[in-house]
Amino acid sequence: MANISPFVSRGLFDELFRDVNPGYFIKPLHGDALPSQIKVDIKENPGEYIVEAEIPGTNKENIHVNIDGNVVSIRAEISQMDSQTKDDKLLRSERYYGEVSRSFQLPADIDEVASKARYENGVLTLNLLKKQKQAGQRMAIE
């Protein structure tokens, strides 16, 4: 009997059985289930932070970004549905609904008024301008 490594994922066996008897298994319509957390890339240049967050399967109206000093919170409501006619017989549904969120702290405070957000092709891009530190002003002496 072959010794199977404990590191072999269950997905490998699932794929093997799908290939052996493809009529028995119905592949997911949308792939993976609702992500547990939003994946982000964060870059910094001298005047701003650029955040790219993957949020597929939602509309821009369902994305909420909150900035509090240097803490950025992203929340999105995701629903993925398939259309079905009255003559269709539903064999399996892999739709999902839910909410995902992510919060992180940046090294500098953010100017929320001057910052911008754009959502395109499932990616939210935030251009978060750093708040300019006010130099100490000399106090007038009377």
The domain spanning residue 58 has which CATH number? 2.60.40.790
* Euclidean distance between CA atoms 57 and 47, whole angstroms: 31
Measured CA to CA, the distance from residue 116 to residue 35 in angstroms comes to 25
Residue 135 domain flag = no
Reported as a pLDDT band with limits 50, 70 and 90, residue 14 is: low
pTM of the complete model? 0.64
pLDDT attached to residue 15: 55
- From CA 29, how far away is CA 95, in angstroms rounded? 8
Answer whether residue 95 shows pLDDT above 70.
no
Q: Residue 26 pLDDT more than 80? A: no
Note the pLDDT of residue 9: 47
Assess if residue 138 is contained within a domain: no
CB of 127 within 8 A of CB of 106?
no
What φ, ψ does residue 19 adopt, rounded to 5°? -70, -35
User: Which residue range is the domain that position 122 belongs to?
Assistant: 34-82+93-129
